Amino acid sequence: MSLSALPQWQFSSEQGERNYLQALREYPAQIIVDLATLRDNMRHLVNVVNQEGGPTQVMGVVKADAYGHGLIPTALAALAGGATWLGVAQAREALALRAAGIGVDRARILTWVNNPLRAPYEELIEQDVDLSVATMTALHRIEQAARAVGKPARVHIKVDTGFGRNGFTLEQIDEAIDALLPLAQEGVFEIVGQWSHLAVADAPDVSEFVDETDTQIATFEEFTERLNARGITPQIRHLANTAATLSRPQIHYDLVRPGVALYGYEADPAMGTPSQYQLKPAMTLQAQLSSVKTVDAGEGLSYGRVYVTDKRTSAAIIPVGYADGIHRSASGFNELGAKHVNKLGGPVRVMTADGAKIMHVSGRVCMDQFIIDLHDDAERLNVHIGDTVELFGPGRGADYLEPNADDWAQAADTISYEIFTCLRNRIPHLYLNAYETLSDEDIAKLDQSTLL
């Protein structure tokens, strides 16, 4: 019997268990996403924004394949939790949501990143996808597309309040209004929204950044005044990402756009931990050991000998690497190997005869694998080939010794977002609690072989 660092998964049926075993045959690592957790996180966000006043709608931001969690299953779970909007960067993702059968009766969809010269605006308008207008080029192209299709384009005017990325600046807004007004009057454009994005809302502990967010909010209001003065009154104003949704109720406006909170994380560990916000990480990444062996003292592990064993020990191989999206910057260095550098690698939960232990990436992360020093004899620890180890999961607290994506982010000097969006689709994605979370009709929209 192989040991597992995880509790036994609860399968919905024998077919669910067969799907799991098939995934183990296909690949030595699996991403397991709990759809009930995604739904509950969304439900919580809907409650948060409707506590003080409201009504405020919530957009589930599902760009980048739902931050690596899987676009369609995540979108459906977000809708089950009360989201009424879905947000994606790329046009193809918006079209994929509609093609999966998520109609306007279920969700408005907004898309905001493209090459305006080539974007499939006609198809987007036909499919009732809302469009961000951030440049005059996009404005003209969307106008052409709306005329060609013979249907008004639903647009959200993007304004740059200090992020320095997309959107009309205060200097450009009059030119935009000059072009927008006649199109709105003619019915070529339906001006639905005014929106912008915050740069530093995730640093409530840095007063300079709090001031900067205040300035962005004031600028957002100034844009509204400028639009209103010219007779443009967008019905839906939206500004808040996760950080502002959780910490700035005064700028929830008509709609909020949380991304990372849906997946169960706060925007920055400086804001606290997921549980402080009643959020729970939905993704677990597990893998099965491909080799366990004894190595002598003084042996280098992996490329570059940046980690050298300090005693006779056992080393285990975890068969995922940077080609799977495991950051090479989460490599582990020790003084024997890397001289003056001592840096813990990414954490891995391993089940042993002495209970669960956290081991760390030892040496450099390779393309398809990395090594962990078990710091003991594997036989004594009862660690064997085929055992399931956990790279990260919901993070059930210090006593339980379970890493989450924030821990990997710290080891890799990045943010949790990059930990899960970088995971490659070659790792099978499996879904827990689909039957408990989704209607039969929605279940039918999913790849049945992915359901546990």
Ligand X SMILES: *Cc1c(COP(=O)(O)O)cnc(C)c1O
Residue ranges in contact with ligand X by CB under 6 A: 61, 63, 197, 241-242, 257-260, 267
The nearer residue to ligand X, 5 or 262, going by C-beta atoms, is 262
Residue 114, Cβ neighbours under 10 Å: how many? Answer: 20
State the DSSP string of 144-156: HHHHHHTS-EEEE
Contacts of 118 (CB under 8 A, 6+ apart): none
Q: In what order do the strands lie in the sheet with 347-352?
A: 355-360, 347-352, 388-392, 283-288, 29-34, 429-432
Give me the catalytic one of 63, 158, 280, 343. 63
Contacts of 125 (CB under 8 A, 6+ apart): 131, 142, 145, 146, 149, 151, 153, 154
Residue with tokens 């079209």: 95
- Taking the complex as a whole, how short is the minimal distance between the CB of residue 43 and ligand X, in angstroms? 17
312 in a known ligand binding site: no
Contact 245, 258 (CB under 8 A): yes
Classified as helix, coil or strand, 337 is: helix
The nearer residue to ligand X, 4 or 241, going by C-beta atoms, is 241
Residue 148, Cβ neighbours under 10 Å: how many? Answer: 11
Distance CA(81)–CA(257), nearest Å, equals: 14
- For 348, the enclosing helix (H) or strand (E) is strand 347-352
- Taking the complex as a whole, how short is the minimal distance between the CB of residue 260 and ligand X, in angstroms? 4
- Taking the complex as a whole, how short is the minimal distance between the CB of residue 112 and ligand X, in angstroms? 6
The nearer residue to ligand X, 167 or 332, going by C-beta atoms, is 167
The nearer residue to ligand X, 59 or 308, going by C-beta atoms, is 59
Strand pairing report for 355-360 and 347-352: antiparallel
Contact 28, 319 (CB under 8 A): yes
Residue 338, Cβ neighbours under 10 Å: how many? Answer: 18
Give me the catalytic one of 151, 158, 303, 435. 303
The nearer residue to ligand X, 256 or 338, going by C-beta atoms, is 256
Nearest one of 27, 28, 4, 29 to 283, comparing CA atoms: 29
Distance CA(64)–CA(147), nearest Å, equals: 30
Strand pairing report for 283-288 and 388-392: antiparallel
Contact 364, 300 (CB under 8 A): no
**Nearest residue to ligand X on Cβ basis:** 259
The nearer residue to ligand X, 44 or 63, going by C-beta atoms, is 63
Distance CA(421)–CA(198), nearest Å, equals: 21
- Taking the complex as a whole, how short is the minimal distance between the CB of residue 257 and ligand X, in angstroms? 4
- For 50, the enclosing helix (H) or strand (E) is helix 35-51
Residue 339 annotated to the active site: no
Classified as helix, coil or strand, 347 is: strand
- Taking the complex as a whole, how short is the minimal distance between the CB of residue 440 and ligand X, in angstroms? 31
Which residues lie across from 314 on neighbouring strands?
Answer: 294
Residue 158 annotated to the active site: no
- In the Cβ-directed half-sphere of 412, how many Cα atoms lie within 13 Å? 25
- Taking the complex as a whole, how short is the minimal distance between the CB of residue 237 and ligand X, in angstroms? 13
* Alpha helices per DSSP H over 52-172: 63-67, 71-80, 91-99, 121-126, 136-149
- Taking the complex as a whole, how short is the minimal distance between the CB of residue 432 and ligand X, in angstroms? 22
The nearer residue to ligand X, 63 or 360, going by C-beta atoms, is 63
Residues in the chain: 452
Distance CA(85)–CA(108), nearest Å, equals: 5
The nearer residue to ligand X, 119 or 351, going by C-beta atoms, is 119
364 in a known ligand binding site: no
- Taking the complex as a whole, how short is the minimal distance between the CB of residue 351 and ligand X, in angstroms? 33
The binding site for substrate consists of 165, 367
Binding-site positions: 165, 367
* Catalytic residue numbers, as ranges: 63, 303
